[in-house]
Chain A
Amino acid sequence: MNSTTVIVGASLAGINAARTLRLQGREGPIIVVDADPERPYDRPPLSKQMLTGEWEREKILLPAGKEDLGLDFRLGVRAKALDLSARQITLEGTGGAVETTAFDSLVIASGASARRLPESAGVAGVHVVRTLADSLALRDELDAGPTRVVVVGAGFIGAEVASSCRKRGLEVTLVEAMPLPLERILGVEMGKVCAQVHIENGVDLRLGTGVLQLETETVDGVEKVVGVALTDGTTVAAEVVVVGIGVTLNTEWLEGSGLTLDDGVVCDNTLLAAPGVVAAGDIARYPSARFGRMLRVEHWETAIAGGEAAARTLLAEASGETPAVFDPIPWFWSDQYDRKIQLAGRPMPTDQCVVVHGSTEEFRFVALYGDGDRLTGVLGMNRPRHVVQLRAIFEEGASFSEACERAASL
Chain B
Amino acid sequence: MRIVVDFDLCESNAVCMGIAPEIFEVRDDDFLYVLDENPPESMRAKMEESVQRCPKQAISIAED
Contact = CB atoms under 8 A, between A and B. Distances in A.
A340 interface: yes
Nearest to A300: B55
Contacts of B11: 335, 340
Given A300-B55, A301-B53, A304-B52, A385 B13 contact: no
Given A304-B52, A335-B11, A340-B11, A388 B17 contact: yes
Specify the main secondary structure of chain A where it touches its partner. helix
A42 B30 CA distance: 24
Interface string B12-27: 1111011001000111
Interface residues of A, number: 19
Nearest to B18: A388
A42 B11 CA distance: 16
A42 B54 CA distance: 12
A336 to B, nearest CB: 13
Nearest to B28: A385
Given A391-B18, A392-B18, A384 B13 contact: yes
A342 B11 CA distance: 12
A73 interface: no
B8 to A, nearest CB: 11
Specify the main secondary structure of chain B where it touches its partner. loop
A208 interface: no
Interface in A294-333: 300-301, 304, 333
A384 B30 contact: yes
A93 interface: no
Contact of A333 (B13, B17, B52): B13
A304 B18 contact: no
A301 B14 contact: no
Contacts of A300: 55
A382 interface: yes
Given A342-B13, A391-B18, A333 B26 contact: no
B14 A385 contact: yes
A319 B36 CA distance: 38
Contact of B55 (A16, A333, A387): A333
A44 interface: yes
A285 to B, nearest CB: 23
Interface centre among B13, B15, B28, B57 (most CB of A within 10 A): B13
24 contacts: A16-B52, A42-B57, A64-B52, A301-B15, A301-B53, A301-B55, A304-B52, A333-B13, A333-B55, A340-B11, A340-B12, A340-B13, A342-B13, A384-B12, A384-B14, A384-B17, A384-B26, A385-B25, A385-B27, A385-B30, A387-B14, A388-B14, A388-B18, A391-B18
